[in-house]
Structure 1
Amino acid sequence: MGDDRTDPAWGTFLELGGPADGPLHVRLSRALRAAVTGGRIASGSALPPSRALAADLGCSRWVVTEAYAQLVAEGYLEARSGSATRVRARAVPAPVTPEADVGTRWEPEFDMLPGIPDLRAFPRGRWADAVREATGALTWGELGYPDPAGLARLRQRLAAYLVRGRGASLEARQLVVCAGTLDAVRRLCRVLRTEGHTHMALEDPGWSRLSATVGAEGLVPVPVPVDGDGLRVDLLRRAPQVRSVIVAPAHQFPTGVVLAPARRGELVAWAREVDGLVLEDDYDAEFRYDRHPVGALQGMAPEHVALLGSVSKTLSPALRIGWAVTPPRWTEALGAEHVGGVPPPVIDQEAFARFLARGSYDRYLRAARLRYKRRRDHLMGELAASLPGFQVSGAAAGFHLLLSLTDCSAPTVVREAARRDVRLADLDAYRMARAEHHPTARAGDSLGARAVAAAGPALVLGYGNLADHAVPGAVRRLAQAIDTARRHDRRHVDAGRAGERAG
């Protein structure tokens, strides 16, 4: 943002009206006054020299000098010898801001929301070098409107990386570059609808924006419960109208479970039986700490699995670069202009292609994996010391974990933590359906209901963007919030029992 004392106002739109509205110098004075009082010309802004404005308006210089002189006399402008004519300080009234917009976004001291990588570690220098080189290397033709399927060089580099690093099975022509995972899901939903799909299954609990996107694209989202082994494929089979499903097999969000080998086989078998499509959300699979990262499910059944990924959870969500690897029957339609997807800027695509080609992405991921593991170990050690007896799960991969609660409710803890400047997430906030209303639970059969209700109250603790030195303080305040929540909920229960006795 520039200094408002030097921001020029040369490009301001001026509504002068016609000859019937008065002499031109009067109309110019009126238009400039309206631009100042309306806030279109900021306080301190420099107006164009009278000769330049006169040339732009096609009038004599006298018209402009008369208009400027009138506004100087009225106190809207100030003219100094040897300097530009400027809008006088405080001549522009303060904008009236609606009450709802007065506050700024809450930026807590300790942000433990999941899904954000370590933004402090973003490789600014290397990325800036890649962008600068990409800008100089692109041809004139490549600076035009982009290929809806993405830049060819990036597709080739990404295909090679996914085969090597994720165990995927593909050719570059099967890959479409998207503006993130949601863009890929949006495109696939539109393509699937044209093929007769009406419903799409999603893991429950799961990322809420996925279900919202599926519903917005005209498909009915069907929640399918998750347990300790991942997606309940047996319950998925109870929804015969479903032929597509979104899963995160390498690290389910938000529970953190890894899809068990037997379940992977069951899911692939289901997709083949119904001639369906599994959308594999590979959002943070590179970060596994107990063993090598689990290979992509797509490598097991490339004819029935679409592999979706992005740099939002590895580099930064600000880049908006993602990809979708699909079976050949879907790829052409997915990259077509009529599907409505918007690829990332070509310069960013070329920069990321160079980032991959030089091994910068691999090196960054290795360093990030070590950094997250150290931070995870630090966090788990602090949790064990401050909250002994509390169960931690889902910590084998990614950069969030699940903290189960006892003797208190998650919403109360979230509220108490916010009072202590800590931002947390309640596991229940990611649920699509409550147990008694779950669509996969048959009448008289509580299997689906039990799967949903199995996990008690819990918090989803993100540590990706939590500074190492902030871990002890964050856990200390979390423990205080839990202690207060326990006492609050205990009083609430006691009051309820007293009321029942009195009744």
Structure 2
Amino acid sequence: MTDGFKAAGFKAEGFKAEARGGGGVELHLELGAGGSRRAAVAAALREAVRSGRLAPGTRLPPYRTLAEDLGVARNTVADAYAELVAEGRLTARQGSGTRVAERVAARPQRVPEKAARSAAPLHDLRQGQPDATSFPRADWAAAVRRALATAPHDAFAPPHPQGRPELRRALAEYLARARGVSAAPDRIVVCAGFAHGLRLLFGGGVLAGPLAVEAYGLPFHRSVLDAAGVRTVPVALDGKGARTDLLPEGRGGARAALLTPAHQFPTGGPLDPARRAAAVDWARGRGGVVLEDDYDGEFRYDREPVGAVQGLDPDHVVYLGSVSKSLSPAIRLGWMVLPAHLVEPVLAAKGLREAWTGVTDQLALASLIEAGHYDRHLRRMRRRYRERRNRLVAALAERAPHLAVTGVAAGLHAVVELPPGTEAATVEAAASAGIALDGLAAFRHPESEQPHRDGLVVGYAAPAEHRYGAALDALCRVLPPA
């Protein structure tokens, strides 16, 4: 075996080389053992073309470049190229170099188009999804440019787990102004969203279970808590929100409660003012905390927004928010406004360096807020979602007047009340009609003793505008008759 083959990493099972430079592409080849060097290079190239790893039209590295990286003679590569040109797998033209022929390269296997289409629903009426077509691309791009142009050099050093100070300052101002949150920048910890916040608080050992939760809520959040070994204790709901008078008392009971005060998820409606105060009193009396999930507090339609519970007692409420509803769940940015004594434990749970949220996104969101474009986007989306809500309510009033619609004062979804015993069949009928939505039962805590009421959780934000009318028509056709 020659030194050239040793340098290229030749082993009994073959070797790999990467060719670079010279106007070609980064080329990864696996050369089998045995036989001549020319045959090995030709066979590796032939397999790369046949499998589609080298796409039609791809320009290959010059002879000298590939030969140097493989540790073989230049003529060895030239002969291998010539062999594949003769086979019609490659083309060679003066001034254009050697390329993969357009007509012979196999395409990677694809899922049949019909099967791919069947994976997506015809009408997406699932809750919690904003209108993806309305993401403020131009404003976000401008914010990224401003952020990169003005960012200090230390922004590109190893990131601090608390988050960029620019974003924490912008959030402190915005949350105080728009949500009534008492938020100093040094009490804010940036995270990747609400679920990440839960993982830090409970999986990181900052808080311990059991945790009181509302009788209806997101199953995903319960699974996060289950994974952290946290037992959840359901608290009943009524027309005024969570029954805070039923929060656990006594030794061994919960010292933390997770609530959605601005708009109970998924049943709708704000937490009654007296109960908001009672929840804070409960946490204060037990030396515990209320976890406030403000998941869509910006989207209220029929009256002024309900301020955050956190403003009643910042030392006993952990306020959690994110941009998943206001901008996009694809931007993994959230925040926790913490009591002072929890900041350092949360940072310790997070680690020495930020490992979840990118600095560029943090700086861009700070710029978006400071320029007023975040507020402008929220106002625009509030108008759009209010119109969507109104169209849903009007369609149901016309075609299913026997069914009540609740939870429509805020948010991105409504609850359609169903006759007892009809929920499962209606959800199944919707699925058969290509409609993706959930029944209320999917959100009920498995240990709740509260009687279940049948209903559909209908999201009205996700469908494209030109498909929304068809989605409402399809929904009305599967609803149970009077």
**Residue type of the alignment partner of 2:223:** A
Q: Does 1:207 align with 2:218?
A: yes
CA drift of 1:206 comes to: 0.5
Superposition pairs for residues 492-503 of structure 1, below 5 Å? none
CA drift of 1:113 comes to: 0.8
CA drift of 1:301 comes to: 1.4
Q: Does 1:228 align with 2:225?
A: no
Out of 289, 294, 304, the position equivalent to 2:306 is 294
- The CA distance in 2 between the partners of 1:401 and 1:271, in whole Å, is 30
Secondary structure of 2:120's counterpart equals: coil
Stretches of structure 2 lacking an aligned partner (at least 5 in a row):
1-22
The residue aligned with 2:325 is 313
- The CA distance in 2 between the partners of 1:84 and 1:241, in whole Å, is 74
Decide whether aligned partners of structure 1 residues 116 and 377 sit closer, same or farther in structure 2, where only a CA change above 3 A counts: same
Q: Does 1:421 align with 2:421?
A: no
Residues 187, 339 of structure 2: 8 Å contact kept: yes
Residues 302, 409 of structure 2: 8 Å contact kept: yes
- The CA distance in 2 between the partners of 1:115 and 1:231, in whole Å, is 20
Higher mean C-alpha displacement, 76-85 vs 456-465: 76-85
The residue aligned with 2:58 is 45
CA drift of 1:223 comes to: 2.8
CA drift of 1:167 comes to: 0.7
- The CA distance in 2 between the partners of 1:106 and 1:17, in whole Å, is 40
Q: Does 1:477 align with 2:474?
A: yes
The residue aligned with 2:203 is 190
Residues 12, 40 of structure 1: 8 Å contact kept: no
- The CA distance in 1 between the partners of 2:381 and 2:103, in whole Å, is 49
**Residue type of the alignment partner of 1:216:** A
Residues 204, 224 of structure 1: 8 Å contact kept: yes
Residues 33, 71 of structure 1: 8 Å contact kept: yes
Decide whether aligned partners of structure 1 residues 36 and 218 sit closer, same or farther in structure 2, where only a CA change above 3 A counts: farther
Identity of aligned residues (%): 42
Higher mean C-alpha displacement, 106-115 vs 118-127: 106-115
**Residue type of the alignment partner of 1:350:** L
Structure 1 residues 209-250: Cα deviation after superposition (integer angstroms, max 9, x where no partner): 111111122322333332222122233326843222221110
Residues 379, 471 of structure 1: 8 Å contact kept: no
Figure out how many residues of one structure are paired with residues of the other and give that number.
Answer: 457
**Residue type of the alignment partner of 1:474:** A
The residue aligned with 1:245 is 257
**Residue type of the alignment partner of 1:275:** G
**Residue type of the alignment partner of 1:236:** L
- The CA distance in 2 between the partners of 1:250 and 1:198, in whole Å, is 24
Secondary structure of 1:14's counterpart equals: strand
The residue aligned with 2:417 is 404
Residues 333, 339 of structure 1: 8 Å contact kept: no
Out of 1, 25, 34, the position equivalent to 1:10 is 25
CA drift of 1:201 comes to: 2.5
Give the TM-score normalised by structure 1: 0.84
- The CA distance in 2 between the partners of 1:47 and 1:384, in whole Å, is 65
- The CA distance in 2 between the partners of 1:198 and 1:322, in whole Å, is 23
CA drift of 1:353 comes to: 0.7
Give the TM-score normalised by structure 2: 0.87
- The CA distance in 2 between the partners of 1:12 and 1:247, in whole Å, is 54
Secondary structure of 1:418's counterpart equals: helix
- The CA distance in 1 between the partners of 2:111 and 2:324, in whole Å, is 33
Out of 351, 369, 373, the position equivalent to 2:364 is 351
Q: Does 1:63 align with 2:76?
A: yes
The residue aligned with 1:369 is 382
Secondary structure of 1:323's counterpart equals: strand
Structure 1 residues 188-213: Cα deviation after superposition (integer angstroms, max 9, x where no partner): 1134x355x13222222111111111
Residues 187, 340 of structure 1: 8 Å contact kept: no
- The CA distance in 1 between the partners of 2:352 and 2:85, in whole Å, is 56
- The CA distance in 1 between the partners of 2:473 and 2:30, in whole Å, is 60
